[in-house]
Each structure stands twice: as structure tokens, then as C-alpha cells.
Amino acid sequence: MGAGGLLVGGAGVLGLRAAGAGARSLLQRPQRTPPHGPQAGPAGPALPARQHAWIDHLPTDRYGNPLAPRFDRLLFFDVRGPATARHAQRLEAALQALERRYRWGADGLLFTVSWGHSYFSGVLGVSSPVPRATRLSSFERPVIDDYHLCIHLACNTERRLDAIEAALVRGRRLPGVPGSLALEPALIWRQTRRGFTGAGLPAARQHVGGIPAGDPVQASAPLFMGFRSGLLRNQATEDAVTIESGVFRGGTTMQVSQMELQLDDWYGLLSARQRVALMYSPQTTPAQLRAITTDAPGDPRQLTQAIRQYGVIGHAQAAAQARRAGRPLIIRRDFDTTDGGHAGVHFVSVQRSIDDFIVTRNAMNAAGAHLADRRITATANNGINAFINVRRRANYLMPSRADRSFPLLGAQRPLAMELAADG
């Protein structure tokens, strides 16, 4: 392939965007006893202390890459009225009932509970450990979500997620669980987002906006864009994203964005070779892709060559600039969606601090590349930036399992005083 042979047309918007605010110092505070531990009796055996500890509970392929749960659901809520211990007990009892009913894992159920900026600042009146989300590129205009909490449910059976959502949100009986799991006395349901990932699912659901006619998504594709994501070595480890000290020791942060995909040109104009170049790097060959085991190609050290010689940057190559000790800073737990009748991605990631996400997103933007070669703009010839439109963003704090139900409730006053003392 000759230099510049991969150039892709498209009206890019030039511009630079500085990183947003970093996570606040609360993450560094000394540990305090969680005010609300389990309230409703013992849950299943040996549940991991970290809510985000999923990887040991996922099946793997023959190389040891984890296979993501095939179905996901994000439930967003606000707290009903002033938060009390009864609110926390209600939520915790429902979560423990789910843990008793389903084995922890993709074949049973995995879930996390995370809390937004507005929970800490608005409901508790304390300084939030995560910053409010911000716009992260020059070419996006997202709505910034303000939900108090997000429950992420994932498993391999879509109907199970339907039943759990109906039980939590609408008070329906969940087979095999005595009593009601309705969260309504404690929480006001605001929104649900649904999705899927895994071979066969995107092809079966491709008759939606954003995907051109002609069934371009292949039957084997695990994602709408045609490639497999989330290989073992292209993810951070769960240890590396865990908060190590302070109030939220054992927790992590979660970033949730909603993206629309616009794949008319992806499938209508580009060759398979060009899609590989934009997803991985222009230096990536089909033979390399066929030989992938646990680490996708896309060497960031070849970025200068990619820009100068080919006038094209690969997405994985650009994102890999943000590695630390040879591994990415974030664990991606994203999934495709047809919410609203449009192809999209619910991009969920966990990372030690929201700053780690911002650094990664800035790397992916590669906003300075046009200074080296004007064929590359913010969206033209620049990874997959041209094909995704970020509609919503939000940041959350994901406490450890013991502290997941209304974290810091009852601890507002001492915490506020500590912060004031810090000046």
C-alpha cells in the first residue's frame, strides 16, 4: 500500500480541546468504616469485595481473553426525597436478593452500583469524589447526565435482564425471589439503556438508523463496526483501576457515555483494508489481524510514521498512547445498542480516576495530528472519530461492595469538616 493510499474523505472540524477537571482529592482520604454494610443477611458465598471484579467470573476464549456478557442494561435513578438509612436498607436488600438468586458471573448475573456527582453534592451536600462530566472533544456536544445513581446489569440472557428490570423498577415479582424488589420507595427511576455484544447479535439487529442497507454487518461480528474489542492486553487490570486508599478504597470510577454510530461511509465508502487502518493502524496488515491472540496491533510508537507516511491514524494506535506500564489506563465494558431505533454504543469504562479516562479520550482524539499533516483533522483520517457522535456523558464513583448502598450516608458532617480543615 503506498503512502497516503488510505486517505479517507470527510469534512473534519479542526480544533483542540483541553482536558477537563481532574478527580477531587477525596479519593486520597484515609479509609473510614462504611456507614452501611449489608442489611439483609448473608449474600452468596465468596462474592468479590470489589464490585468491578468481573474478569474471574467471565468465560474466556482459547487464548484467555475474557468474553463479555452478551447483554447489558443501565438503569438510572434519582434518590427519592432526603436520603435515610431506610433508603439504603431497601436498596441493599434488593441487591442481596439478586446475589442470592443468581450466581455471580455472566451465566448468572453481574452488576455494579455507582453514584454520580449530583448524589454527593446535591443529596448529601458533600464534595463529590468525581467531577461532573464535560465535553471531551471539539466535535461533540453531549448532554451531561445528572442522575444520582446507575445500576449496570450484565449477563448472557436478555430475558433475565428484562425480569430483573421489571422487578426493580416496576415491582413485578421475580421468580424464585420471595417478596418485592421494588426500589420505588427509595429511588425514582429515570432512564433505562439496553445493549448487547457478541458474535451474531449486531448482525441480527442491524436494521436500524446509522447502518446502511444491504446487511453490511457480518454474521460473525461481535460489534456493529465489525471488529472485536476488549482483548486481554488492551485492557487495564482490575487491580490497576482499583482506588488504593482513602474513603473509597477498593472502589473505582465509572464513565458512561452514549454514542450514536453513523456507519454509512464506514461500510459504503471504505474498503476492508481502510477500516482496518482506521480501527488499528495503517501499518496493520490483514495477516497480523488474523494472528491476534491477546494484544491487538496498533503500535503507538509508529504514530509519527502513520501520520507522515500514510496521513491516517488508527484508533487503537492513538488510544494506546495513554498506556501506563505497558497497559491501558481503563477497562472498557462497552456494548452496542439499538436504543431509539439507531445503532449506537453505550460506552462504559472503569478506571482509577476520571482523569485516566480523560487522558485516554484525549489520546484517542489525536487532536494535534493535523499540525504534522493537514490531511488529518479531528475527524478526517483520524481513527473512528468520524463515525461516533457522543450524545450524553456522565461520571460515577463505584464504591466497594460493602459500601455500595448510599455511600457516605451519615458521614456527611465529619467529611465536610475534614474538607474544610484541609482548607
Nearer to ligand HEM, 6 or 329 (CB): 329
Q: Report the C-alpha gap between 314 and 317 in whole angstroms.
A: 5
Helix (H) / strand (E) element for 257: namely: strand 252-261
Q: Minimal distance in Å, beta carbon 192 to ligand HEM? A: 21
Q: Report the C-alpha gap between 401 and 38 in whole angstroms.
A: 9
191 to 230: interface string for ligand HEM, x by CB under 6 A:
--------------------------------x-x-x-xx
Nearer to ligand HEM, 382 or 400 (CB): 382
DSSP conformational letter for 213: S
Nearer to ligand HEM, 120 or 224 (CB): 224
Residue 333 lies near ligand HEM (rule: CB under 6 A): no
Residue 263 lies near ligand HEM (rule: CB under 6 A): no
DSSP conformational letter for 315: H
Q: Minimal distance in Å, beta carbon 361 to ligand HEM? A: 4
Residue pointed to by grid coordinates 474478569:
55
Question: What does the angle CA 315 – CA 204 – CA 155 come to, to the nearest 5 degrees?
Answer: 75
357 to 386: interface string for ligand HEM, x by CB under 6 A:
---xx--x-------------------x--
Residue 347 lies near ligand HEM (rule: CB under 6 A): yes
Strands (E), 156-234: 187-196
Nearer to ligand HEM, 364 or 397 (CB): 364
User: Torsions phi, psi of 162, nearest 5?
Assistant: -60, -45
Contacts of 319 (CB under 8 A, 6+ apart): 298, 328, 360, 363, 364, 383
Q: Minimal distance in Å, beta carbon 118 to ligand HEM? A: 23
Nearer to ligand HEM, 71 or 347 (CB): 347
Contacts of 260 (CB under 8 A, 6+ apart): 210, 342, 343, 344, 388, 389, 391
Nearer to ligand HEM, 101 or 275 (CB): 275
Question: What does the angle CA 246 – CA 135 – CA 192 come to, to the nearest 5 degrees?
Answer: 75
Q: Report the C-alpha gap between 118 and 149 in whole angstroms.
A: 9
Residue pointed to by grid coordinates 427511576:
189
Region class of 376: left (phi > 0), else alpha (psi between -120 and 50), else beta = beta
Residue 335 lies near ligand HEM (rule: CB under 6 A): no
Among residues 88, 161, 279, 331, which is the contact residue for ligand HEM, using CB under 6 A?
279
Among residues 26, 126, 168, 345, which is the contact residue for ligand HEM, using CB under 6 A?
345
Q: Write the single-letter amino acid at 373.
A: D
Residue 234 lies near ligand HEM (rule: CB under 6 A): yes
Reference 332, options 206, 223, 179; nearest CA is: 223
Among residues 106, 161, 319, 348, which is the contact residue for ligand HEM, using CB under 6 A?
319
Which residues in 384-413 contact ligand HEM (CB under 6 A)? 384, 388
Nearer to ligand HEM, 61 or 176 (CB): 61
Residue 187, C-alpha cell as written in the block: 429511588
Nearer to ligand HEM, 226 or 399 (CB): 226
Nearer to ligand HEM, 160 or 332 (CB): 332
Residue 397, C-alpha cell as written in the block: 464513583
Residue 231 lies near ligand HEM (rule: CB under 6 A): yes
Q: How many residues bind ligand HEM (CB under 6 A)?
A: 24
Q: Report the C-alpha gap between 390 and 135 in whole angstroms.
A: 9
Which span sits near ligand HEM by CB under 6 A: 82-90, 100-108, 145-153, 356-364? 356-364
Q: Minimal distance in Å, beta carbon 176 to ligand HEM? A: 36
Nearer to ligand HEM, 248 or 347 (CB): 347
Q: Minimal distance in Å, beta carbon 384 to ligand HEM? A: 6
The radius of gyration computed from the CA coordinates of the chain, to the nearest angstrom, equals 22
Which span sits near ligand HEM by CB under 6 A: 111-119, 181-189, 328-336, 402-410? 328-336
Residue 258 lies near ligand HEM (rule: CB under 6 A): no
* Distances in whole angstroms, Cα of residue 306 to Cα of each of 13, 281, 282, 383, 397: 20, 7, 6, 11, 37
Contacts of 181 (CB under 8 A, 6+ apart): 94, 97, 98, 164, 167, 168, 171, 174
Q: Which residues bind ligand HEM (CB under 6 A)?
A: 223, 225, 227, 229-231, 234, 279, 296, 315-316, 319-320, 323, 328, 330, 332, 345, 347, 360-361, 364, 384, 388
